[in-house]
Structure 1
Amino acid sequence: MSDDGGCCRVGDHSDPAARAWLSEAIRRVEADANRSADTHLHVFPLPARWGIDLYLKDESVHPTGSLKHRLARSLFLHALCNGWVSEGTTIIEASSGSTAVSEAYFARLLDLPFVAVMPRSTSPEKIELIEFQGGRCHLVDDPSSIYDESRRLARETGGHYLDQFTYAERATDWRGNNNIAESIFSQLAHERHPIPTWVVVGAGTGGTSATIGRFIRYRRHDTRLCVVDPENSAFFGGWSEDDPSATGSGSRIEGIGRPRVEPSFLPKVVDCMISVPDGASIAAARWCSSVTGRLVGGSTGTEMWGALRLVAGMRSRGETGSVVTLLCDGGERYAHTYYDDGWLADQGIDIAPYTATLEKFADTGEWVEPPS
């Protein structure tokens, strides 16, 4: 189709009906953000005499129950505004669970079909949540095959593969616009240590650490960023050896840890990394739940273990300040895994030594690493 004597060609994307659908789709996604209040910043109980404050940014209160609600919203807006998604497009995603739950929510909001490609080991609770949101789960035996399988399904359906592992770091406006970093620093503004010494996060896509690390530099804060990584994940080895081709075997801590260093992970914005055994992650999740009265997931346990180690280090050096980490999602999603003693036994995970470390730290402020 052409007009203006052939000097200008008008493509299908300028169709008034398509533009009207796009406008309405963006309005719906933006309306969801306007309806959602900011997430809470809870104070974790530490002795006041330590002079160190620990905060949990509670991302479990999002409409879909996890930190990934922010990412899903950003990914949908990114895909819509890039012209990759239109009316009727099937949305495909490779996900271990929580991202897919949130993306299924937004797909249903836009009346779009949604397929989550996930490892067969994904918790049944997450599968049920995806299906509750109207999504379909496509399970694979080999976790490393989720990328290729997602691309294949997108080709076969004529759909769009959102690809969180590539686009997470670029879909979010890291300079501000109410991203998670800006929210944390705004909420800390009236606390006794308003600029945190450390922010501690896990890495799944790498998008959250990229957003926070960039924001810290952009705002010229002295805050340092620590990324915690569960055992068997590739991120720690890739960061410590400066090797983006590093690989691992995946992770039993859903939502964080990957078999490869994902494209969205930006190692240069990370100041410190801590490798956390799965037993420590699960022990810390259970211990955090008992202390706070809020049931938390395994990735929150990984972050709590790292945050408490940093608090212990600050205390041993006589430093004061604040540390912030995330409550990524609720523990009710893991009733048949991390909170099931039978599952732990089947996996050969002993949390007792790590629980002892946490209890000793709570009693004395001393951090004693469990024997490896």
Structure 2
Amino acid sequence: MTTPSDETPGGPADRTCERTRSWCDEAIRRVVADANRSADTHLHVFPLPESWGIDLYLKDESVHPTGSLKHRLARSLFLYGLANGWIREGTTVVEASSGSTAVSEAYFAQLVGVDFVTVMPRKTSPEKIALIERYGGRCHFVDIPADMYTEAERLAAEPGGHYMDQFTYAERATDWRGNNNIAESVFEQLALERHPVPEWVVVGAGTGGTSATIGRYLRYRRHRTRLAVVDPENSAFFPGWVTDTPDYATGMPSRIEGIGRPRVEPSFVPSVIDMMIPVPDAASIAAMRHLNDVTGLCAGGSTGTNLWGVWQLAARLLAEGRTGSIVTLICDGGDRYRHSYYNDEWVASQGMDLAPYRAAIDTFLAKGTWHPPA
């Protein structure tokens, strides 16, 4: 019951609704409980020649409930939206994504009991659409990929809508100081290894959130580890970083799902990156397939992009006569890409020849010399 002072200008105004806070409390409990039920992701060792004195570790993010690194991001974005009061009972969460982020956000939307809509290109693979719909998400299609942003904003502007906007909030939704973020997890898992502080961590950039979290953590903890970010063809991140142009844009989509963007996104923090490495798409797919052949680990194209960068950095350590460790990520599972990256007909249709890149990897691992295709 309100008092007269509650209704007069200048009097106290109580906007807290017991039901609203109770719903939010329960939603946050569900999201945190989901994390609490999940064991940490594995840190696999890739077999390198013992004489090199170099250890390579792959943190397997494909084992998350939704199968990718984006599970961490979606969890952080939902907690951020809930804690800010942006996501409430009856909210429709809207995102611009045709990839793994949409799958993971659909999962968390279903977990807390809100509707989820993702805006995606009409040519998105049936496998991705099916994964999103499995978790109760709805796919809204656009014919021009660049229209995803504005269409998502338009849908979210309708009553009860909230635009999650992963490309803006990825770098701020995750606690880069620790709190079991991916960087803290890696260093805890390396504690008993012979090189517990890696020389390099290698990741790609989709939103830029992962590289921002890791780069900030390395500086905060005063580790000597350097951060390398790999970037596929058509992406704006590498040229934007090299030229120090924060609004650089290529206007072209990446063929390597999950990383690379046609514009430099707001969550990309270039100042925490020590090196960027451009990677041909054929090299990404060749490295991804090589990983599967050697270890049995079936990963997506962005993992191959990571590995192509790893081989260059390992070759540098060898040339300098140094030992140490390198850490990279298995970003998602390869089952999502049976129709594309693991399909020889699809690869040929894209005009890619994997043989020279595969030969470069084989030669490097056999002889320790790095001679990539011209």
Smaller-chain TM-score bracket = over 0.9
Q: Distance in 2 between matches of 1:334 and 1:123?
A: 9
1:253 corresponds to 2:256: yes
CA deviation after TM superposition for structure 1 residue 158, in Å = 3.1
Alpha-carbon distance between aligned partners in 2 of 1:132 and 1:294, rounded to the nearest angstrom: 25
- Which residue, 348, 351, 354 being the options, matches 2:351? 348
1:283 and 2:307 correspond: no
- One-letter code of the match for 1:9? A
* 1:113-124 alignment runs, 5 A limit: 113-124=115-126
Q: 2-side partners of 1:252 and 1:3: how far apart?
A: 61
**2:182 matched residue in structure 1:** 180
Deviation at 1:116, TM superposition (A): 1.1
| 2:148 paired with 1:134 | no
Where do 1:214-229 residues align within 5 Å? 214-229=216-231
Alignment of 1:297 onto 2:300: yes
Matched, 1:329 2:332: yes
- 362, 365, 373: which one pairs with 1:359? 362
* In 1: Cα distance, 2:353 partner to 2:336 partner: 21
1:8 alignment partner, SS class: coil
Paired residues of 1:123 and 1:334 also in contact (CA < 8 A): no
Task: Encode CA deviations 1:204-232: one digit per residue, 9 max, x unaligned.
Answer: 00000000000000000000000000010
Instruction: State the partner residue of 2:12.
Output: 8
> 2:344 & 2:271 partners in 1: Cα distance?
39
- Give the aligned length: 369
Shift of 1:120: 2.8
For residues 1-372 of structure 1, the aligned pairs below 5 Å read: 3=3, 5-6=5-6, 7-11=11-15, 14-156=16-158, 158-248=160-250, 249-371=252-374
- Secondary structure, in 3 states, of the residue corresponding to 1:156? coil
* Corresponding letter in the other structure for 2:355: A
TM-superposed CA distance for 1:138, in Å, is 1.4
CA–CA separation in structure 2 for the residues paired with 1:101 and 1:343: 23
Tell me the distance in 1 between the aligned counterparts of 2:4 and 2:292: 67
How far apart are residue 4 of structure 1 and its match? 8.2
- The Cα shift of 1:122 comes to 2.7
d(CA) in 2 for partners of 1:216 and 1:3? 53
CA contact (8 A) 1:206 1:266 kept: yes
Distance in 2 of aligned mates of 1:96 and 1:309: 31
SS of the residue 1:175 aligns to: coil
- Root-mean-square deviation (CA, aligned residues, Å) is 1.2
Is the 8 Å Cα contact of residues 2 and 9 (structure 1) preserved in structure 2? no
Distance, in Å, in 2 between the alignment partners of 1:16 and 1:105 is 26
CA distance in 1, matches of 2:124, 2:287: 21
Q: Which amino acid letter does the alignment assign opposite residue 132 of structure 2? A: I
Note the alpha carbon deviations across 1:89-108, whole angstroms, 9 max, x for none: 11111113100100000000
Q: Is the 8 A contact 1:123 1:337 kept in 2?
A: no
Q: 1:123·1:333 contact (CA, 8 Å) conserved in 2?
A: no
Question: TM-score, normalised to structure 2's length?
Answer: 0.97
Q: Distance in 2 between matches of 1:197 and 1:4?
A: 66
| Per-residue deviation, 1:312 | 1.1
Does the C-alpha gap of structure 1 residues 220 and 25 become closer, same or farther in structure 2, counting only changes over 3 Å? same
User: Structure 2: 5+ residue runs without aligned partners?
Assistant: none
Alpha carbons 2:90, 2:160 under 8 Å: kept = no
3-state DSSP of counterpart to 1:9: coil
- The Cα of 1:3 is off from its aligned counterpart by 4.5
Counterparts of 2:104 and 2:132 in 1: how far apart (Å)?
Answer: 8
TM-score by length of 1: 0.97
Partners of 1:74 and 1:4 lie apart in 2 by 41
- Tell whether the 8 Å contact from 1:2 to 1:10 is kept in structure 2 after alignment: no
Tell which deviates more after alignment, 234-243 or 152-161: 152-161
Deviation at 1:245, TM superposition (A): 1.2
Partners of 1:129 and 1:211 lie apart in 2 by 27
